[in-house]
């Protein structure tokens, strides 16, 4: 088989799946709103998701995505549900069943169990309006009928792509409604490369005695001792608890060449006022970008809107050591 023919097969498959997604887009309506709202209102329960075969694999992805955006969810194996695992479903839960045919034998026992408990809401995701799942669901989402992307129209391809996209659409709709941001997302992703990307300056900043603070009335000879001891190449100047200025080791070298009485010079007379300060919840990657843009190596850190009250300092080396670039 020639390379061009292989590429054509791939492109045709992707085109088929794009068409299927367009049909899904047209299907988003009232029932989708109902699904999002009932999930958002599930405050004391869990979202339990199940399916069989390829729909089961998609169900696992739904559960993983929901959990990652703060919606307590887990996948229930339909086969094991009939052998004791049904006990994981409580009266405050919502059950989502995904089945293209809506007739999977393994799901029927779950449908019967949920139907006996009126407090448990059942969401049915299927493409067959006459199916057992559709008829017994409290909220029904009718998947569009799509052509599978293989020549025989039998391999789950377009249909599973549609199911996957629907789950993502529900999860992100709930996420945005709840104003679920990067810091919330970080709580559920403490490990891996994703966690590194979501580190904030609060995770990396130096605090307390590690901050190179000096008072405005400090003489240069004492300031030199502080900047040498702290090892950051920068001094933060404050008046009582308010940060008023900054000086770098480069500034000190230039001042030493300029003033004959450098050692006795009061730091307030030569400091640079209004140092750049960022909120403690700023992503470390964003802080690095600011440093590169401003051509500086350190930033003051504050919380809330109190820009002149420094609670920490971050040096470019702190960020680079965390493998953030």
Same domain for 130 and 222 = no
Number of domains observed in the structure of the chain: 2
* Separation of alpha carbons 91 and 117, rounded Å: 7
Is residue 196 assigned to a domain?
no
Closest CA to 156 of 28, 10, 62, 53: 53
Least confident of 46-50, 214-218, 259-263: 259-263
> 192 pLDDT exceeds 70?
no
CATH of the domain at 243: 3.10.580.10
Coil, strand or helix at 200:
strand
Is 192 a member of any domain? no
Whether residues 69 and 176 share a domain: the answer is yes
Domain identity same for 36 and 147: yes
Same domain, 176 and 205: no
Rounded Cα gap, residues 322 and 197, in angstroms: 10
The answer to whether residues 175 and 234 belong to one domain is: no
Claim to verify: residue 169 and residue 278 sit in the same structural domain: no
Question: What CA–CA distance (Å, rounded) separates 148 from 294?
Answer: 53
Confidence of residue 63 (pLDDT cuts 50, 70, 90): very high
CATH of the domain at 171: 3.40.50.10490
Q: Report whether 294 contacts 287 (CB < 8 A).
A: no
State yes or no: pLDDT of 3 exceeds 90. no
Same domain, 34 and 134: yes
Q: What is the pTM of this model?
A: 0.70
**Domain assignment of residue 241, yes or no:** yes
Over 90: is that where the pLDDT of 268 sits? Answer: no
Distance CA 167, CA 49 (A): 11
Are 235 and 167 found together in one domain?
no
**Alpha carbon 191 to its chain's center:** 12
Domain assignment present for residue 206? The answer is yes
B/e letters for 37-76, b = 16+ CB within 10 Å, e = fewer, are eebeebeebbbbbbbbebbbbbbebbbebbbbbbbebebb
Q: pLDDT band at 191, cuts 50/70/90?
A: low
Three-state SS for 103? coil
Q: Which domain holds residue 75?
A: 3-180
Whether the per-residue pLDDT at 194 is higher than 80: the answer is no
On whether residue 172 sits in a domain, the answer given is yes
Q: Is residue 313 part of a domain?
A: yes
**Does residue 93 belong to any structural domain of this protein?**
yes
* pLDDT tens-digit map of 17-35: 999 999 999 999 999 999 9
Does 191 reside within a domain?
Answer: no
């Amino acid at each position: 088989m020639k390379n061009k023919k292989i590429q054509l097969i791939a492109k045709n498959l992707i085109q088929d799946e794009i068409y299927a997604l367009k049909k899904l887009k047209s299907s988003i309506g009232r029932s989708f709103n109902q699904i999002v709202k009932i999930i958002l209102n599930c405050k004391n329960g869990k979202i339990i998701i199940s399916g069989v075969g390829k729909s089961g694999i998609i169900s696992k992805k739904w559960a993983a995505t929901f959990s990652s955006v703060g919606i307590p969810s887990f996948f229930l194996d339909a086969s094991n549900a009939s052998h004791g695992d049904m006990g994981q479903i409580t009266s405050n839960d919502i059950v989502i069943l995904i089945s293209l045919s809506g007739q999977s034998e393994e799901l029927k026992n779950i449908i019967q169990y949920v139907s006996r408990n009126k407090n448990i809401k059942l969401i049915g995701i299927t493409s067959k309006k006459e199916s057992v799942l559709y008829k017994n669901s409290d909220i029904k989402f009718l998947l569009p009928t799509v052509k599978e992307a293989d020549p025989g129209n039998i391999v789950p391809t377009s249909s599973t792509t549609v199911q996957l996209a629907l789950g993502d659409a529900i999860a992100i709709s709930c996420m945005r409604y709840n104003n679920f941001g990067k810091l919330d997302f970080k709580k559920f992703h403490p490990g891996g490369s994703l966690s590194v990307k979501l580190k904030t300056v609060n995770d990396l900043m130096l605090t307390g005695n590690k901050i190179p603070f000096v008072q405005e009335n400090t003489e240069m000879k004492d300031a030199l001792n502080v900047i040498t001891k702290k090892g950051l190449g920068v001094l933060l100047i404050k008046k009582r608890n308010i940060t008023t200025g900054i000086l770098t080791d480069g500034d000190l070298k230039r001042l030493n060449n300029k003033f004959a009485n450098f050692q006795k010079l009061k730091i307030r007379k030569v400091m640079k006022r209004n140092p750049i300060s960022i909120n403690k919840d700023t992503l470390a990657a964003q802080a690095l970008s600011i440093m590169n843009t401003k051509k500086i190596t350190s930033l003051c850190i504050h919380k809330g809107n109190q820009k002149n009250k420094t609670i920490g300092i971050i040096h470019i080396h702190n960020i680079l050591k965390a493998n953030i670039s």
